[in-house]
């Protein structure tokens, strides 16, 4: 395993020092102080969303939550460079990307509460609903990009996936197609070092970025905890795609500081020392230091960011716990686009089943709603659990 | 307003969790998301954040208790609903953790709060209850010979379990048909199990499906009836308590069974006058080099064991049955059996033979601390080569310890007793300890095992002997 600082592009050191890079500097020359402050705020806010959602899971308000702690720069830095007409295909951990795309806070947690099969309309914001199946979204992204080609537009499709996904057939197939058709797609791989409990070194003898050239896809290996490097690399890739020069593979080297999901205990498989090492490379801390060195990290600024983060957390919590339970029969909606006899019959049977409680307990309507909503809750819980099993 | 908080499913599909510790007590004010308890699930120990800002009124569950998902564990007096941002929720089902109870509720919340995502809770309280139907006697059940225990359990379960049986039988094998016929059935909404095949070997044909579709509804609704559930289980004043075999106990049991019935154990005993070691410890404790380091007889024995291993390497080996090889470890990963609140674990000190005395002492302290705090890492539990168990702390003299699987020897240290003992030709009160050594007789012959134990004994009886051993 090759893993030293010199292996990747870094524009901002963990100490908050801006380091020159002839090839990359031009791509972030427009990032001025206000923009840097705004990037910082976004990272703090999504970290707050993460901790609030984790707390909500522990309080029984969410079935599950996949924290992105430590990957803020990789997600914010890349998502903030996209255009509105670009289209994003993510896995389940890209909640910061969703935040940047403008997904409503309540919509972000809707699925994790088991309240809905999906949280938003992908076409409204140019972001597909998260793929639970590892790596599947890279194929969707490549297909979408080929569609853009056919339409003759210069929109780009971006696939987000992790280090573990690179071992999946889907990702390799997507790379083959993207290269063969010169599709305008960006493969944004967040190498967070752990595929649940499997360290990246087990499945990648060489850096992941080295694989892409074999498919005919140029690649970059960047410090994923450096928001400037992430922005620069993403812009290079987007420009290449928009100008008809095909796909790019970006390996953003970052670290999942939290558990795989709220159901995971990383202390069982990784050393505390490794976590400490990465805490020193925190993506937010280095921007804080840079802002400080520029004299921008004032008490007033900090208070403003904190207020924003707290407000977002409060809004998230409020939206979560006031989310109405879904109607029991809504579980049959959105299964098929066309009528289906088997499903129709199941729905009729279930309707009759629910009605049997009303017939039984006509005098006690309270119990009826109780029983019905319990059933709905369990139906949804099952779908979340089944999905989670494949994470 | 009193708010009761029920144990949520902290993982994915967990049905129970253990309260490890409370960090609050009744009367304590708490903030939203303040860390109030540690809870251990089958997957992890997690921190429980307070769901409310308010004052803790009651803890319903004690540490060490396994709680089912959905059972109340703590209640809060919450001054103002808006303080937690759920003002719009008001009352009712939309606010999952909320359920109002009277303060004297020793068994709170008969009606459980409905929690979305509470897959597990549905097992207990969630299944919609049907009114028991008048039941027919099930002839199959009474014809089946059964032990009293079996019979008792076969009539106890509620009707819902019985109802599912015929369904399972019916779906055991897919009816014979062909893909186009299955597609037709699907389109017409016909379940193939309801169709009788008229083709060769009972094959279901296109016509069979069509016939079923046109004639469906006439005899479809055959209600299954449930057997009587009239027996009440007697449980006042329990004489036995049954508790589930939990993960660590299960692991320990499996390891012990595997070890005890794979490796032929031999145990030897040696009783030693350890007074000189105790005196040495007294001297060392006054030494500046050991400031802030806890040293005791275990430290000395750990060091002595490493020295004895070097002289008797066969004690530090592993029998690799699969490879048909004996693995000689040229390092010592020294396991220390530790009783923790959650069961027995054997974390080990890596490369203990390469450590100096003070380093071993420090490692032992760290290991004990981690075990006590429940923060022992997985890597500390793996890769041990030889172990020590300290039964002396419980006041026990000797025993026949069972080997940690994959290791060739384990040393049990007994209690230090002040006993009349022969000393320089006279009888004196001396500090005496019994050492018990179990070893795997496949790997270690009596001679080597005895020499190893004698070496350790010699060091304890006269620490100066180390000079002649290293």
- Considering chain A, what percentage of its residues have pLDDT values greater than 70? 90
Per-residue tokens: B398:
């000797």
- Mapping DSSP to helix (H, G, I), strand (E, B) and coil, where does residue B366 land? helix
**Residue ranges making up the domain that contains B35:** 2-126
Same domain, B322 and B440: yes
The CATH topology of domain A5-321 is Rossmann fold (3.40.50)
Per-residue pLDDT at A88: 98
For residues B281 and B255, membership in a common domain is answered with yes
Return the DSSP state at B124: I
Q: How many domains does chain B have?
A: 4
B96 shares its domain with B182: no
Nearest to A228 by CA among A367, A29, A15, A363: A29
Q: How far apart are CA B341 and CA A72, in angstroms?
A: 38
Q: What tokens does B126 get?
A: 């969630």
Q: Which position has the higher pLDDT, B232 or A282?
A: A282
User: In this predicted structure, what is the pLDDT of residue A303?
Assistant: 97
Categorize the per-residue pLDDT at B292 as very low, low, confident or very high, splitting at 50, 70 and 90. confident
Mean pLDDT, range B136-165, rounded to an integer = 42
Minimal C-alpha gap between A194 and chain B (Å): 16
Q: Return the sign of the alpha-carbon dihedral for residues A271, A276, A278, A282.
A: positive
Neighbours of B384 (CB within 10 A): 23
B370-377 — which CB contacts under 8 Å span 24+ positions? Answer: B371/B338, B371/B340, B371/B345, B371/B347, B372/B338, B372/B340, B374/B20, B374/B40, B374/B45, B374/B340, B374/B341, B374/B342, B375/A267, B376/B345, B376/B347, B377/A267, B377/A268, B377/A271, B377/A272
Do the Cβ atoms of B96 and A60 come within 8 Å?
A: yes
Nearest to B95 by CA among B79, B108, B84, B107: B84
CATH of the domain at B115: 2.40.50.100
Chain A residue numbers with beta carbons less than 8 Å from the beta carbon of B43 are 263-265
Q: Is the residue at B8 inside a domain?
A: yes
Q: Residues A165-193, buried b or exposed e (16+ Cβ, 10 A)?
A: bbbbebbbebbebbbeebbbbbbbbbbbb
Residues B50, B151, single domain; the answer is no
- What average pLDDT does chain B have? 78
Closest alpha carbon to A316 in A14, A62, A16: A62
- Assign A249 to helix, strand or coil: strand
Interface contacts A/B by beta carbons within 8 Å: 152
pLDDT of B33 above 80:
yes
Query: Would residue B61 count as lying in a domain?
Result: yes
**B291 vs B80 pLDDT, higher one:** B291
Q: What is the pLDDT of residues A11-51, one digit of tens each?
A: 999 999 999 999 999 999 999 999 999 999 999 999 999 99
Residues of B labelled as active-site residues: 441
Mean pLDDT (chain A, rounded): 90
* Cβ-Cβ contacts under 8 Å, A113 against chain B: 116-117
> Is the same domain home to B194 and B300?
no
Q: What is the CATH number of the domain that holds B375?
A: 3.30.559.10
pLDDT digits (tens, 9 = 90+) for A130-166: 999 999 999 999 999 999 999 999 999 999 999 999 9
Instruction: Please state, in angstroms and rounded to a whole number, the distance separating the CA atoms of residues B137 and B364.
Output: 65
Share of chain A above pLDDT 90, in %: 81
Claim to verify: residue B147 and residue B278 sit in the same structural domain: no
| Residue A258, pLDDT score | 95
| Strand ranges inside B287-416, DSSP E | 317-320, 325-328, 334-336, 338-340, 343-345, 348-349, 386-390, 409-413
Same domain, B56 and B118: yes
Q: Among A263, A317, A323, select the one facing B11 at the smallest CB separation.
A: A263
Going by their DSSP bridges, the two strands B16-22 and B35-40 should be labelled as antiparallel
What the block records as the tokens of B24 is 């609050």
Kindly identify which residue of chain B lies nearest to residue A269, measuring between CA atoms: B378
**Are B135 and B256 in a shared domain?**
no
- Whether residue B231 is contained in a domain is answered as no
Q: Nearest 10 degrees: CA dihedral of B288, B290, B294, B296?
A: -100
pLDDT digits (tens, 9 = 90+) for A78-114: 999 999 999 999 999 999 999 999 999 999 999 999 9
Phi, psi for residue B227 in degrees, rounded to 5: -70, 165
Beta carbons of A261 and A197 less than 8 angstroms apart = no
**Partners of residue B86 in chain A, C-beta under 8 Å:** 317-318, 321-322
Task: State the CATH number of the domain containing residue B199.
Answer: 4.10.320.10
* CA torsion through residues B454, B460, B461, B464, sign: positive
Is the pLDDT at A382 greater than 70? The verdict is: no
Q: Which residues of chain A are in CATH 3.40.50.970 domains?
A: 5-321
Neighboring chain A residues of B13 at a CB cutoff of 8 Å: 381, 385
Cα(A270)–Cα(B103) distance, integer angstroms = 45
Categorize the per-residue pLDDT at B200 as very low, low, confident or very high, splitting at 50, 70 and 90: confident
**Residue B105 — pLDDT band, cuts 50, 70, 90?**
very low
CB nearest to B12's CB, from A64, A341, A375: A64
* Residue of A52, A59, A67, A348 to mutate, testing the B interface (most B Cβ within 10 Å of its Cβ): A59
Q: What is the pLDDT of residue B190?
A: 82
Q: What is the pLDDT of residue B380?
A: 87
Cβ A265–B43 below 8 Å, yes or no?
yes
What is the percent of chain B with per-residue pLDDT over 90, rounded to a whole number? 43
Residues B116 and B82 in one domain: yes
Most confident segment among A233-247, B113-127, B357-371:
A233-247
Q: Give the model confidence (pLDDT) of A255-265 as tens digits.
A: 999 999 998 88
Antiparallel, parallel or unpaired: β B35-40 and B45-49: antiparallel
Q: How confident is the model at residue B83 (pLDDT cuts 50, 70, 90)?
A: very low
> What is the set of active-site residues of A?
256, 260, 269
Q: What is the pLDDT of residues B110-134, one digit of tens each?
A: 334 333 333 333 333 344 444 444 4
Interhelix angle B179-188/A341-360, nearest 10 degrees: 40
B158 in any annotated domain = yes
- The answer to whether position B228 is within a domain reads no
Is there a domain that residue B350 lies in? yes
Query: Do B396 and B316 belong to one domain?
Result: yes
B269 and B392 both lie in a single domain: yes
Taking CA–CA distances from B9, the nearest residue in chain A reads A60
Note whether B117 contacts A60, CB cutoff 8 Å. yes
Give yes or no: residues B303 and B160 share one domain.
Answer: no
For residue A5, pLDDT over 70 is answered with no
Tell if the pTM clears 0.80, that is, is over it.
no
Residue B221 within a domain? no
Nearest C-alpha in A relative to B116: A377
Q: Which residues of B touch A378 (CB under 8 A)?
A: 118-119, 122, 126
Most confident of A43-47, B11-15, B117-121, B165-169: A43-47
Whole-number Å distance between alpha carbons of B446 and B441: 8
């Amino acid at each position: 395993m090759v893993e030293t600082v010199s292996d990747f592009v870094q524009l901002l050191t963990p100490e908050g020092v801006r380091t020159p890079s002839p090839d990359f500097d031009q791509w972030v020359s427009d990032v001025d102080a206000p923009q840097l402050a705004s990037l910082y705020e976004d990272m703090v806010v999504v970290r707050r969303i993460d901790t609030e959602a984790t707390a909500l899971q522990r309080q029984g308000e969410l079935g599950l939550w996949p924290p992105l702690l430590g990957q803020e720069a990789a997600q914010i830095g890349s998502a903030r460079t996209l255009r509105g007409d670009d289209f994003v295909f993510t896995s389940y951990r890209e909640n910061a990307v969703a935040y940047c795309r403008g997904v409503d806070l309540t919509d972000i947690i809707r699925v994790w509460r088991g309240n809905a099969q999906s949280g938003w309309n992908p076409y409204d914001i140019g972001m597909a609903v998260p793929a639970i199946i590892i790596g599947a979204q890279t194929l969707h992204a490549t297909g979408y990009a080929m569609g853009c080609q056919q339409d003759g537009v210069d929109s780009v499709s971006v696939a987000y996936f992790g280090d573990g996904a690179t071992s999946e057939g889907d990702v390799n197939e997507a790379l083959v197609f993207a290269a063969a058709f010169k599709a305008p797609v960006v493969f944004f791989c967040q190498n967070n070092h752990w595929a649940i409990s499997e360290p990246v070194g087990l499945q990648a003898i060489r850096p992941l970025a080295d694989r892409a050239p074999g498919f005919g896809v140029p690649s970059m290996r960047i410090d994923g905890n450096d928001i400037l490097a992430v922005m620069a690399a993403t812009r290079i890739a987007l420009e290449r795609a928009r100008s008809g020069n095909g796909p790019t593979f970006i390996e953003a080297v970052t670290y999942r500081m939290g558990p795989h999901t709220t159901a995971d205990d990383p202390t069982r498989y990784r050393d505390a020392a490794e976590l400490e090492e990465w805490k020193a490379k925190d993506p937010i801390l280095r921007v804080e230091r840079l802002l400080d060195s520029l004299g921008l990290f004032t008490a007033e600024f900090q208070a403003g960011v904190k207020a924003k983060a707290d407000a977002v957390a409060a809004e998230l919590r409020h939206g979560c716990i006031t989310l109405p339970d879904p109607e029991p029969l809504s579980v049959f909606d959105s299964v098929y686009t066309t009528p289906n006899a088997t499903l129709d019959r199941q729905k009729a049977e279930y309707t009759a089943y629910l009605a049997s409680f009303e017939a039984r307990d006509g005098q006690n309507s309270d119990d009826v709603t109780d029983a019905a909503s319990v059933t709905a809750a369990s139906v949804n819980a099952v779908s979340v659990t089944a999905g989670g099993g494949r994470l | 307003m009193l708010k009761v908080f029920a144990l949520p499913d902290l993982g994915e599909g967990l049905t129970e969790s253990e309260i490890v510790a409370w960090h609050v007590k009744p009367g304590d004010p708490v903030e939203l998301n303040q860390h109030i308890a540690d809870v251990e699930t089958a997957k992890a120990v997690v921190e429980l954040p307070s769901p409310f800002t308010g004052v803790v009124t009651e803890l319903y569950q004690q540490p060490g208790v396994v709680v089912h998902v959905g059972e109340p564990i703590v209640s809060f007096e919450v001054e103002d609903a808006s303080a937690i941002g759920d003002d719009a929720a008001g009352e009712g089902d939309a606010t999952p953790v909320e359920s109002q109870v009277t303060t004297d509720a020793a068994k709170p919340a008969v009606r459980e709060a409905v929690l979305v995502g509470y897959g597990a809770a549905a097992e207990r309280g969630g299944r919609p209850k049907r009114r028991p139907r008048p039941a027919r006697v099930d002839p199959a059940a009474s014809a089946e010979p059964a032990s009293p225990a079996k019979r008792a359990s076969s009539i106890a379960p509620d009707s819902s379990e019985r109802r599912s049986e015929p369904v399972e039988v019916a779906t055991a094998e897919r009816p014979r048909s062909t893909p186009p016929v299955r597609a037709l059935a699907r389109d017409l909404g016909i379940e193939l199990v309801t169709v009788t095949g008229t083709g060769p070997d009972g094959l279901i044909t296109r016509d069979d499906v069509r016939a079923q579709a046109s004639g469906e509804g006439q005899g479809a609704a055959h209600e299954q009836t449930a057997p009587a559930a009239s027996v009440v289980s007697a449980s006042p004043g329990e004489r036995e308590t049954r508790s589930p075999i939990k993960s660590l106990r299960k692991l320990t049991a499996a390891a012990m069974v595997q070890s005890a019935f794979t490796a032929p154990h031999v145990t030897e005993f040696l009783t030693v006058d350890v007074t000189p070691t105790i005196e040495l410890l007294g001297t060392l404790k006054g030494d500046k080099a050991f400031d802030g380091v806890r040293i005791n007889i275990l430290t000395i024995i750990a060091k002595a064991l490493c020295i004895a291993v070097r002289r008797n390497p066969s004690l530090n080996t592993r029998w690799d049955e699969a490879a048909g090889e004996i693995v000689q470890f040229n390092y010592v990963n020294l396991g220390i059996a530790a009783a923790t609140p959650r069961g027995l674990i054997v974390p080990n000190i890596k490369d203990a033979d390469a450590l100096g005395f003070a380093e071993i002492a420090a490692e032992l302290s760290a290991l004990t601390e981690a075990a006590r705090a429940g923060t022992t890492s997985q890597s500390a539990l793996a890769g041990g080569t030889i172990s020590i168990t300290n039964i002396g702390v419980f006041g026990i003299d000797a025993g026949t310890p069972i080997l940690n699987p994959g290791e060739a020897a384990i040393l049990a240290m007994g209690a230090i007793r002040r006993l009349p003992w022969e000393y320089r030709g006279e009888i004196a009160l001396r500090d005496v300890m019994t050492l018990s050594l179990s070893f795997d007789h496949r790997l270690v012959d009596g001679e080597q095992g005895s020499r190893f134990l004698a070496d350790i004994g010699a060091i304890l009886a006269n620490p100066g002997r180390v000079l002649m051993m290293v």
